[in-house]
């Protein structure tokens, strides 16, 4: 079953509330990310809860182990369902975050879906996105994270190359056919995500910037049901 998380990448509480009102009853999982959280902090999280939604706090933690562990602890106090961290932060950082108890689910970013091979060459001339995603996914899983954030294009190769790991996938970079891809590069359609049985997809602008966000959400859910009738967990 594939669950849809709508990224509330807006700049005001007013716009956030408009979206929550429009999507109520259709979408129950939301992402509060850097923009909204930097602008409005806890208020933005509380508003989603007020509308009965669940929050994925996507602040992509990357720091020394103790700092990240403290941030995970504070996220728990916010009542969010999940938080993200960059797996590039290394084994000790991931383990310190995973050891926090109780804590929200931890979802680890492998390589941002806006990056391509040419972008990661700065770290290593021979670096390739697929192998870097695989290594980071494995590192995260071994040290206790609950889900891997990667491109939809990497899900099947990861399942194949790491068959012994029970990986859960959270996939941004989702674009219905014909919709502008914006700054995203490694993209996938909602239908293909459903067909692959990806656990959760994160989708922002195709819904939040649409002239009618509710219709856009319904169209996406319809595409997913058509692609895989049993695959949808929309709410
Ligand atoms: O608007 P769009 O659908 O591109 O939004 C995707 C969301 O997923 C954004 O909020 C972005 O921060 C997030 N994300 C991503 N790539 C990752 C991790 C998170 O695009 N690797």
Residue 178 is predicted with a pLDDT of 79
Residue nearest to atom 8 of ligand 1 (CA): 172
Residue 2 is predicted with a pLDDT of 93
* Beta pairing partners, 57: 32, 83
Q: What is the mean pLDDT of the chain?
A: 93
The Å distance, Cα 152 to ligand 1 centre, comes to 12
For residue 230, pLDDT beyond 80:
no
The CATH code of the domain that includes 192 is 3.20.20.70
Per-residue model confidence as pLDDT tens digits over 105-132: 999 999 988 888 888 888 778 888 899 9
For residue 141, pLDDT beyond 50:
yes
CA angle 58, 152, 125 (to 5 degrees): 85
Per-residue model confidence as pLDDT tens digits over 31-77: 999 999 999 999 999 999 999 999 999 999 999 999 999 999 999 99
For residue 233, pLDDT beyond 60:
no
- Please report the DSSP string for 142-187 in residue order: HTT-SEEE--GGGHHHHHHHSTTS---EEE--B--TTS--TT--S-
For residue 27, pLDDT beyond 80:
yes
Residue nearest to atom 13 of ligand 1 (CA): 172
For residue 207, pLDDT beyond 60:
yes
Residues 15, 21, 42, 60: which is the catalytic one? 60
Q: Which of 7, 114, 169, 171 to mutate to test the pocket of ligand 1 (most atoms within 8 A of CB)?
A: 7
Residue 105 structural domain: 3-234
Atom of ligand 1 at shortest range from CA of 174: 3
How far apart, in Å, are the Cα atoms of 21 and each of 14, 25, 55, 58, 140? 11, 9, 16, 21, 36
Residue 199 is predicted with a pLDDT of 96
Q: Say which residue the tokens 């959400």 belong to.
A: 217
Pairing of the two strands 169-171 and 200-203: parallel
For residue 231, pLDDT beyond 70:
no
For residue 177, pLDDT beyond 50:
yes
Its pTM stands at 0.93
The Å distance, Cα 173 to ligand 1 centre, comes to 6
The Å distance, Cα 6 to ligand 1 centre, comes to 10
For residue 164, pLDDT beyond 70:
yes
The Å distance, Cα 53 to ligand 1 centre, comes to 19
More confident residue, 229 or 116: 116
| Span 183-202, average pLDDT | 91
Phi, psi of 174 (to 5 degrees): -95, 125
How many angstroms separate the CA atoms of 144 and 31, rounded? 22
Domain count, the chain: 1
Q: Which of 8, 9, 27, 83 to mutate to test the pocket of ligand 1 (most atoms within 8 A of CB)?
A: 9
Phi-psi label, residue 5: left if phi above 0, alpha if psi -120 to 50, beta otherwise? beta
Atom of ligand 1 at shortest range from CA of 112: 21
Query: Ligand 1 pocket: which residues have CB below 6 Å?
Result: 7, 9, 31, 33, 58, 109, 112-113, 149, 172-173, 182, 184, 202-206
* Beta pairing partners, 65: none
Query: Which range among 71-80, 134-143, 221-230 shows the weakest confidence by mean pLDDT?
Result: 221-230
- CB distance 102 to 81 below 8 Å: no
Residue 105 falls in the annotated catalytic set: no
- Please report the DSSP string for 116-145 in residue order: -HHHHTTT-TT--HHHHHHHHHHHHHHTT-
| Span 189-212, average pLDDT | 96
Atom of ligand 1 at shortest range from CA of 209: 1
């Amino acid at each position: 079953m594939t669950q849809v998380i709508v990224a509330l990448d807006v700049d005001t509480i007013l716009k956030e509330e408009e979206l929550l009102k429009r999507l109520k009853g259709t979408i129950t999982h939301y992402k509060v990310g850097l923009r909204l959280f930097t602008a409005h902090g806890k208020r933005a999280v509380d508003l989603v809860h007020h509308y009965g939604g669940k929050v994925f706090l996507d602040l992509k933690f990357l720091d020394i182990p103790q700092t990240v562990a403290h941030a995970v602890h504070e996220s728990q106090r916010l009542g969010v369902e999940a938080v993200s961290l960059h797996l590039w932060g290394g084994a000790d950082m991931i383990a310190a975050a995973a050891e926090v108890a109780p804590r929200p689910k931890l979802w680890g970013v492998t390589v941002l879906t806006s990056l391509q091979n040419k972008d990661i060459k700065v770290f290593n001339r021979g670096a390739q996105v697929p192998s870097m995603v695989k290594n980071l996914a494995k590192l995260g899983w071994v040290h206790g994270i609950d889900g891997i954030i990667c491109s939809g294009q990497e899900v099947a190769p990861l399942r194949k190359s790491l068959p012994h790991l029970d990986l859960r996938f959270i996939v941004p970079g989702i674009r219905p056919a014909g919709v502008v891809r914006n700054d995203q590069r490694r993209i996938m359609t909602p239908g293909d995500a459903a067909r692959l049985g990806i656990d959760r997809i994160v989708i922002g602008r195709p819904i939040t910037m649409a002239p009618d966000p509710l219709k856009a959400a319904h169209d996406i859910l319809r595409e997913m049901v058509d692609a895989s009738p049993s695959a949808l967990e929309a709410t």
